Amino acid sequence: MNDKSKEQGDGLKPGERADRPVRADAKRNLDGLLQAAMAVFASSGVDAPVREIAEKAGVGIGTVYRHFPERSDLVVAVFRREIDACADAAPILAAEHAPGEALARWMQRFVDFIAAKRGLAAALHSGNPAFDPLPAYFQQRLQPALRSLLDAAAAAGEVRTDIAAEDLLNAAAGLSMHAYAQGAEHARRMVSLLVDGLRYGVVQR
């Protein structure tokens, strides 16, 4: 089957880039492509053949290249998608759980994000200027998400009040990257201990 026949119905016109507004069905297809790319990157590395990504997403190779002309475009899109998913989880958890529990659950979600980042590490540290904006995007999206959870937990008297979101993000990221060498569960357990430490010195009201 040629690429053109497999690409029918993707909802994007030839040459239309992924960062332009698209119909709901096209967005679903694009999300599926990014999800497939993340899975392939995690299992085969960022240098995996584009054909492998296209096959997992159920699209033609031409569809991948039309959305992402360069491999770096795809890596950036995948990374931004993972950042957005992690940040967007914060208000959802805040609405469903008590402040302290919402914070603890989000920190575990952040561990999962760090695991995804590990799969992209080779590309992100390659020196390609296409990746230069990503650290700032990471801070812009994740710091406010964590800060909102920290402020709520502190106001409820569940964690101490002198914790900076940036410090906690950096501590959890460093701990997770190191702990993942011993497995995902070990990383989650270490971050759980870190969150438990946030309760030390809380002034009881």
Rounded distance between C-alpha atoms, residue 37 and residue 112, angstroms = 16
Full-prediction pTM beyond 0.85? no
Q: How far is CA 79 from the centre of its chain?
A: 6
Query: 170 is written with which tokens?
Result: 């950096």
pLDDT of residue 8: 38
pLDDT at 150: 96
What pLDDT score does 47 carry? 87
- What separation in angstroms does the CA of 1 have from each of 6, 7, 62, 102? 7, 10, 12, 48
Report H helices in the chain.
Answer: 3-7, 24-44, 50-57, 61-67, 71-96, 99-124, 134-155, 165-179, 184-197
- pLDDT for 46: 86
Q: Tell me the per-residue pLDDT of 47-71, one tens digit each, with 9 for 90 and over.
A: 889 999 999 999 999 999 999 999 9
% the chain with pLDDT above 70: 86
Structure confidence by residue, pLDDT tens digits, 108-152:
999 988 877 776 777 778 888 999 999 899 999 999 999 999 999
Two structure tokens written together for 101:
């529990």
- Asked whether the predicted pLDDT for residue 1 surpasses 50, the reply is no
pLDDT tier for residue 14 given thresholds of 50, 70 and 90 = very low
The stretch 11-21 carries a mean pLDDT of 44
| Gap between the Cα atoms of 203 and 205, Å rounded | 6
The single residue listed with the structure tokens 């914060």 is: 90
Statement: residue 18 has pLDDT above 60: no
- Give the pLDDT of residue 204: 58
pLDDT at 23: 64
Give the largest CA-CA distance in the chain: 68
Reported confidence tier of residue 105, pLDDT bands at 50, 70, 90: very high
pLDDT at position 124 is 79
Mean pLDDT for the chain?
84
